[in-house]
Structure 1
Amino acid sequence: MDTAGKVIKCKAAVAWEPNKPLVIEEIEVAPPQANEVRVKIVATSVCHSDLYHLYEGMHKDGFPVVLGHEAAGIVESVGPGVTEFTPGDKVIPLFLAQCRECHFCKSPKTNQCANGRTEAMSPVGSRLSCKGKKIYQFSGTSTFSEYTVVRQINLAKIHPDAPLDKVCLIGCGICTGYGSAVNTAKVEEGSSCAVFGLGAVGLAAVMGCKAAGAKRIIAVDTNPEKFDKAKIFGATDFVNPKDHSKPIHEVLMEMTNGEWTSPWSVWGTQQSALHSTVPAWGVSVIVGYTLIQKFSAQPGDLIPGRTWKGSLFGGFKGKDGVAEMVQRYMDKKIMVDEFITHNMGLDQIMEAVDLMRKAQCVRAVLKTSPQ
């Protein structure tokens, strides 16, 4: 492309300081360096992890920053040493890298990458700047921008016909929830499951439980308006903890007569989910940001045979998992469009942020440029 090797000026949503609105600014995106790829972002969405860093967990030293990590785009240019990508490829940026060479990437036991965290949240390796100041890059991606630069280990090539304004959601939430059921909990056919929390990740977990063949999927949330959406993805029952005077785990055990396999939980519900499982073989999976939450268990909670697991990105290896899930979408084996409740432009990003903070959307997709 005629922009290759040149600085690109484009729009981006910049977080100048914590607890303040994002500001649409003109930023400069430098050309990619060795083993880096510059990507034109076509669509991105707001995930709760972005809100966490903006409003809940980020130290002031981590600003200014361009947030965003759930997106899809087209390769604009590549730096020296890049062998996997060429201009025009459709891609999804990865917050969870896969170098395919380290001992973690070569192991089937984990989706971690030993080379994945290098300068992932630092201005040192960032190619973004605004008003003469280096901008921190979020999770190695920074997709709230018309263009970004990522390392080739933080990028997955996807099906050339994939609609980028849909499959962008596969870059985080859908893989995280779906894989938590299929890969981490390893839900068995004919089992009973519960999903605590019905945001995008929870709904994807419901979808994963159904795909694995669970006979009963109980959706747990304090907002009954979410149940209709959960039914679309496969939920068979809905429980609102506010409707019961007894602890929710007792309600669930009574509903299933103790025949329980794989409750799945997001932050804030860890103990309830664990205690909902049958002591002899139950599995409980923790998903989502839990850095500000503390939880504990007694030895007697686990000794009988329960398993308590954590899951990052649903256990999917970055490049392989994203390409696989996009293919499943193209083959109509998973739902994606049904997660999208709002379509907006990048300049409406604060509206999307407010919708997420108020739990008034599942996913709002921001279109940053034509596909």
Structure 2
Amino acid sequence: MQCKAAVLESAPGPLVIGEIDVDSPAPDEILVRTVAAGVCHSDLHFMEGKYPYPLPVVLGHESAGVVEAVGDRVTGFAPGDHVITCLSVFCGRCDYCLSGRPQLCSKEGVLRPASAPPRLSRDGQPVHQFLFTSSFAEYMLVHQHGAVKIREDMPLDKAALIGCGVTTGAGAVINTAGVRPGETVAVVGCGGIGLSALQGAVIAGAGRVIAIDRVASKLDLARRFGATDVINAAEVDAVAAVRELTAGGVEHSFEAVGVASAAQQCFDMLRPGGTATIIGMIPVGEKVEIDGPSLLQEKRIQGSTMGSNRFRVDMPRYVDMYLAGKLDLDSMVSGTIGLEGINEAYDELKLGEVARQIVLFD
């Protein structure tokens, strides 16, 4: 099957719109017609060459769609099912999966063997699949353990946001950090993931939720998502401001920018016994430095991979929260585009003014 896709040919470089070939489903695979895909900052790291990836590759990883066909060993999916895809594809048999940490799965058997035809190709040559999804294409061919069936009354354009941003941001708060009712929280960066972390803190019952960004419009949006306080880091020292607001620091901080200096700020704004959770993708080679004596105050810094998710459980719950009015996805959408507008969308993302743009497919 041929379909239109956005291909990264060189890095740094733009995405090139063109035709690719998508193979038929293998026994454990499902073919999904892509309905919507979020424009996530993570892809930009690869476009800018800050993270390496084999080329050429179809980017995109935050998506929702409709099942078109299934392999003969697939269970739980049928043509017509509405699904969210997830890069946290799991094998179900490695130590991580069996110990309840499928987000760290070793991915045994979720890729096709080298002797098999590639899932994606062009002119007879393989095209790499990005993070097991490649959702900047009209069709996705994924392992059955890389998708979850959802309610059909869930709008698929909003469901796409759950595929990465919501699961990563809210999950970091609820799953990774385990924020408890009444605790103080600071979120550095109010893009799609940061705003999801803010909502996760509100859902968890945090007593005070402080939003930090350098763009005033994003701070206005953060208030809509439940921030009790906002700090414009372009105008004041964010660490000093947090310490002043909280009489010494927060119990939890979350870095949602992907910058080493922001991660260090998150650690510095903790009170004794606090935890800094790093969500953003800090570029390869950058280091985070912390003051050694601070560790004697039992301060902690930790990473979070896709919100420590168990997406087959978490994502349907986020869907229920949205439909019950407890999770605001509508306000996260800055605009919608067609696939042809993908490079312009990433140019806007670089400016830092937008939360989430969504690619809609016909």
Q: TM-score normalised by the shorter chain: which range applies?
A: over 0.9
> What residue number does 1:347 align with?
340
For residue 254 of structure 1, what is the aligned residue in structure 2?
Answer: 244
Tell me, in whole angstroms, the C-alpha distance in 1 between the residues paired with 2:174 and 2:109.
Answer: 26
Distance 1:254 1:178, change over 3 A: same
Aligned: 1:217 with 2:209: yes
User: Alpha-carbon deviation of 1:349?
Assistant: 1.4
Q: Give how far 1:308 is off.
A: 1.5
Aligned equivalent of 1:11: 4
Aligned-residue offset at 1:124:
7.2
Where in structure 1 are there 5+ consecutive unaligned residues? 1-7
Do structure 1's residue 99 and structure 2's residue 91 form an aligned pair?
A: yes
- The C-alpha deviation readout for 1:206-240, integer Å capped at 9, x for no partner, is 11111111221111111122111000111111112
- 2:175, 2:316 → 1: CA distance? 16
Quickly say closer, same or farther: Cα 1:58–1:190, change in 2 above 3 A.
closer
Q: Distance in 2 between matches of 1:196 and 1:339?
A: 17
- Matched with 1:5 is none
Match of 2:255 among 262, 265, 271: 265
Distance 2:123 2:158 in 1: 33
User: What corresponds to 2:28 in structure 1?
Assistant: 35
1:137 shift after superposition? 0.5
Deviations, residues 148-170 of structure 1 (Å, cap 9, x unaligned): 20111111111122111111010
Secondary structure at 1:278's aligned position in 2? strand
**Counterpart pick for 2:60 among 33, 49, 68:** 68
Task: Compare 64-73 and 329-338 and name the one that shifted more.
Answer: 329-338
Residue 330 (structure 1) shift = 2.3
Q: What is aligned with 2:77?
A: 85
Shift in alpha-carbon separation, 1:338–1:91, aligned structure 2, 3 A: same
Match of 2:223 in 1: 231
CA RMSD of the aligned region, Å? 2.1
Give the conservation status (yes or no) of the 8 Å contact 1:98–1:153.
yes
The Cα shift of 1:116 comes to 6.1
Deviation at 1:345, TM superposition (A): 1.1
Q: 2:322 aligns with which of 311, 326, 329?
A: 329
The corresponding residue for 2:359 is: 366
Match of 1:115 in 2: 107
Aligned length: 357
Aligned to 1:188: 180
Shifted more, 100-109 versus 12-21: the winner is 100-109
- 1:320 Cα deviation from its structure 2 partner: 2.0
Please name the residue that 1:274 is paired with.
267
**Alignment equivalent of 1:303, drawn from 283, 286, 296:** 296
Q: Distance in 2 between matches of 1:242 and 1:350?
A: 27
The question of whether the paired residues in 2 share the 8 Å contact of 1:162 and 1:326 is answered with yes
- SS of 2:297's partner is coil
Aligned mate of 1:138, from 120, 127, 130: 130
| CA distance in structure 1 between the aligned counterparts of 2:7 and 2:264, rounded to whole angstroms | 37
Task: Indicate how the Cα distance of structure 1 residues 110 and 97 shifts in structure 2: closer, same or farther if over 3 A, else same.
Answer: closer
| Distance verdict in 2 for CA 1:110–1:14, change over 3 Å | closer
Question: Residues 110 and 272 from structure 1, CA distance in 2 versus in 1: closer, same or farther, beyond 3 angstroms?
Answer: farther
d(CA) in 1 for partners of 2:222, 2:138:
33
Q: For residues 47 and 22 of structure 2, what CA distance do their matches in structure 1 show?
A: 22
Change (3 A) 1:116 1:164: farther
Is the partner of 1:285 in helix, strand or coil?
Answer: strand
Summarize the Cα distance change of 1:183–1:368 in structure 2 as closer, same or farther, 3 Å threshold: same
CA distance in 1: counterparts of 2:121 and 2:291, whole angstroms: 49
Relative distance call for 1:110 and 1:118 in structure 2 (3 A) is closer
Secondary structure of 1:77 counterpart: strand
C-alpha displacement at 1:56, in angstroms? 2.8
Identity among equivalent positions (%) equals: 36
322-331 or 103-112, which deviates more: 103-112
1:52 to 31, 38, 45: 45
Distance 1:367 1:19, change over 3 A: same
Match of 1:176 among 146, 168, 175: 168
SS state at 1:172 partner: helix
What amino acid is the match of 1:210?
Answer: V
- 8 Å Cα contact 2:23-2:120 kept in structure 1: yes
Q: TM-score of the superposition, structure 1-length normalised?
A: 0.90
Q: Which amino acid aligns with 2:240?
A: E
